[in-house]
Structure 1
Amino acid sequence: MTEFGLWLSLGGIILLLLLSALFSMSETGMTASSEARIGFLANQGNKSAKRVQKLLAQRDKLISSILLGNNAVNILASSLATSALIGLFGDVGVAYATVAMTILVLIFGEVMPKTYAINRPERVAVLLAPFIYRFVRLLAPLVNVVQMICVLALRAFGVRISRDTSMTASEEIRSTLQLHAESGAMVKHERDMLGSILDLDEVPVGDVMVHRRSMEMLDADLPPDEFVRQVLASSHTRIPVWRGEPENVVGVLHAKDLLRALSACEFKPEKLDLGQLLQTPWFVPDTTTLREQLNAFRQRRAHFALVVDEYGAIMGLVTLEDILEEIVGDIRDEHDPAQRGLRLQPDGSLLVDGATTIRDLNRQFDWHLPDDDATTIAGLVLHEAQVVPEPGQVFVFHDFRFEVLRRQGNRITHLRMTPPAPRSDTADPAD
């Protein structure tokens, strides 16, 4: 081989290694870039970012084209090196070319460019988008043929290719939250709050409502003095009012409306016209999701609704605060009654009010108790035990130990819960 031919081969190898590095960088940059960040740049008018979006929309063709180009330049570079070294050293040049090109391709064609791209994925993707976009369009016919051959070959082995494998937006956000939480980049309260927003479409109002047993209601037929006294004694500003029987709710009283009316009649309750003070009650089905109810509250500019079952019977009430508490956690002010909640014991067990919801416990302690068949922890015990237990009875469900402490009628009011002992992550070397 002439000296000119040798230098020509060397220049070709360097050029091909550069192309190999560009293909490797683009592959890593495109696949590792944040679609949210790329979308932001595209919305800012960045044309290259818009091309990245188009490429990522057909990810299979993008990867196939890059792999095709990368393998082509690597093989061509190896062929040139082999030809040049055979001319210089004879048959042993094949071994020299194999070792040399393996090292060069590994370092300069793969590891180094991919390491750079993985640390700056969006920058690399946007920078190389014009080149890769034209390259993918150029190789589109050939890539289609290659993909068809691959699909047919896989079918011969009984493998079916499904294109519907992408994660939903909600799943992707959840996985991102979990990843940030495990890495320590996000505190637990922030993760729970963002995760709860995603749950609004899945949780019905029946799971967060104030149960009918705990509702404060007023009898419209009470003497005026007693009626006003009960309103003032209540910690709530909106109270359902019934007449004849508690199921017959005739309206909702706002405490401010009552105070205005009292002021107008010189604070003489007997002069009050209750019918003029009551607001029309709003009934919603217990299957309404929290997102639907939140939107309905905003549209109606209301904060209060009564929840009914499929037969129209009142099950409880839901307020805007109940929905907000599902997102940000418990909200309490100076007028709210003290919460009994739960108390952690020295032995690791917890004393729990039976009305505590399973969702609250799971969120607070990162447990995974099922809440499909029961809303409260007492309901879970009743569902699993299939009997109304006596105080002192002990059950073990889902690796938790439940001891019934108190019962009122058929309702479990207090329990002692003992969670499973944490498992050790280290295995016994002898096993």
Structure 2
Amino acid sequence: MTGEAFLAFLGEYWLSIAAVFCLLLFSAFFSGSETALTAASRSRMHSLENNGDERAGIVNRLIERRDRLIGALLIGNNLVNILASSLTTSLLIGLFGNSGVAIATVVMTVLLVIFSEVLPKSWAIASPDRFALAVAAPVRLFVAVAGPISSLVNGIVRRILSLFGVNLSSEMSMLSAHDELRGAVDLLHREGSVIKADRDRLGGVLDLGELEISDIMIHRTNMRAINADDPPEICVREILQSPFTRLPLWRGAADNIIGVVHSKDLLRALAEPDVEPENLDIVKIAQKPWFVPDTTNLKDQLNAFLRRKLHLAIVVDEYGQVQGLVTLEDILEEIVGDIADEHDLDIQGVRQEADGSIVVDGSVPIRDLNRALDWSLPDEEATTVAGLVIHESKSIPEERQAFTFHGKRFIVMKRVKNRITKLRIRPADDQTPIA
């Protein structure tokens, strides 16, 4: 084709060429808008909306129905891409004949990838908040038009997925706020913006609703309590020598908790005239015990502690049997932790050996070990390290038995009756012989 013929072709089809150019711009708009609106900071948008920014309010309302938003943008993007490709193919067939199909495929692939995908998405991800605010108004208009079609498409998709056993509720949130926040914190920690201690504290707050009292309580076998039938002077001595300010009081049987003695109440009673340890009635100064079920989650229990202004509760199972006790400090430690330095093993019952292995008491909670060592041992089926080994081995292991799971090698060092009291933990690839 000569130059004059080419110019004549352009003059005849300039309108179609301009249409293809405009469609490419629309495609870039849809691609960039999708990236910006899904990557925009929801917290920043809420802050801007509270400060009177109407565009931020539009962004928040669009994000609230994210599946409808993304569906509408994908419909628009595919529509203009297909239309632009069809027009280009028609033009190039008229210019080059049948070979125009192959040429149109190559040309449109290059144009769409560069100018309608990579360029706008890179621009949007570089400043998602600013981009989202800029496109909020036109996107809202388009979603209002294409939204019903998007809802229809989502309904068809849910129907198809249900045939394969995948059920999506139309009211189900596409994202979990806790998972989104946890993922953001983990990402910032990997990038160095959030230190490990802060990541653990934020994770502890998010986990409160998922943990039950039974996961953190002091088991009844480790409870320190006072026998109300002991001579008063012995009770007084045990309370004053105890490192705890509150101690349960039992009578007849260890499961029969009749009160909780506060060391300050004891000191006040001893300060009264003519009161000696020998004639003190320990039951009279004890507070009424508070019993809570072991299935209560930590979030509810924390609120209950704050509401009742109490610091200790006795944990019972569904049959009313005492399982242990939980304190306000136990719950707070799930948030703030009890590690002085993120590189030191400052947990009771955990010791690092010179060979790099970790010697652990069987009663050490898995969550405390994970937090101290930045491990990820599962704590869904067991609360303590010993419980995890028993669960995974499906038996009560003997001393010197070793097991490998979850990337670690667990060696039973000491067992008392049916209780594993001490273990050594090494990396799974450590082939050091069992001592």
Q: TM-score, normalised to structure 2's length?
A: 0.78
Which residue in 2 is equivalent to 1:138? 145
Counterpart among 218, 222, 231 of residue 214 in structure 1: 222
In the TM superposition, residue 14 of structure 1 has moved relative to its aligned partner by 5.7
Query: How far did residue 255 of structure 1 move?
Result: 0.8
| Separation in 2, partners of 1:412, 1:159 | 45
Question: What secondary structure sits across from 1:362 in the alignment?
Answer: helix
Partner deviation per Cα, 1:293-331 (whole Å, 9 max, x = no partner): 111111111000111223322222111111111222227
Q: For the residues of structure 1 that align with 2:66 and 2:319, how far apart are their CA atoms?
A: 51
Tell me: CA distance 1:33–1:417, structure 2 relative to 1, closer, same or farther (3 Å): same
Q: Per-residue deviation at 1:281?
A: 0.9
CA shift for structure 1 position 286: 1.9
Give the secondary-structure state (helix, strand or coil) at the position aligned to 2:420. Answer: strand
Partner Cα distance (1:258, 1:175) in 2: 49
Q: How does 1:261-410 map to 2 (within 5 A)?
A: 261-265=269-273, 268-330=276-338, 340-384=348-392, 388-390=396-398, 392-398=399-405, 400-410=408-418
> For each residue in 1:58-112, what CA deviation from the matched residue of structure 2 results, as whole angstroms up to 9, or x when unmatched?
444434443444455566667887899999x887996998777665555444433
1:56–1:160 Cα change, 3 Å: farther
Q: Report if aligned partners of 1:384, 1:397 keep a CA contact under 8 Å in 2.
A: no
Name 1:34's counterpart in structure 2: 41
**Against the structure 1 CA distance between its residues 363 and 331, is the aligned structure 2 distance closer, same or farther, given a 3 Å change threshold?**
closer
Query: Unaligned 5+ residue runs, structure 2?
Result: 1-7, 341-345, 431-435
Cα distance, 1:146–1:212 mapped onto 2, change above 3 Å: closer
* Alpha-carbon shift at residue 36 of structure 1 (Å): 3.3
Could you give the per-residue CA deviations for residues 195-222 of structure 1, whole angstroms, max 9, x where no partner exists? 2222222322222122222222222233
Q: Distance in 2 between matches of 1:319 and 1:189?
A: 22
CA contact (8 A) 1:404 1:412 kept: yes
Query: Alpha-carbon deviation of 1:181?
Result: 3.2
Percent identity over the alignment is 48
Tell me the CA shift for residue 341 of structure 1: 1.5
Check whether the contact 2:49–2:57 (CA below 8 A) recurs between aligned residues.
yes
Task: Look up the match of 2:69.
Answer: 62
User: Partner of 1:276: helix, strand, or coil?
Assistant: coil
2:69 partner amino acid: L
**Post-superposition CA distance 1:375-411 (Å, at most 9, x none):** 2223334455566555x43131426443333344443
Structure 2 counterpart of 1:359, one-letter code: R
Aligned length: 414
Provide the alpha-carbon RMSD of the alignment: 3.9
Report which stretch shifted further, 174-183 or 255-264: 174-183
Q: Relative to structure 1, is the Cα distance of residues 396 and 2 closer, same or farther in structure 2, using a 3 angstrom cutoff?
A: closer
Partner of 2:263: 255
Matches within 5 A, 1:190-205: 190-205=198-213
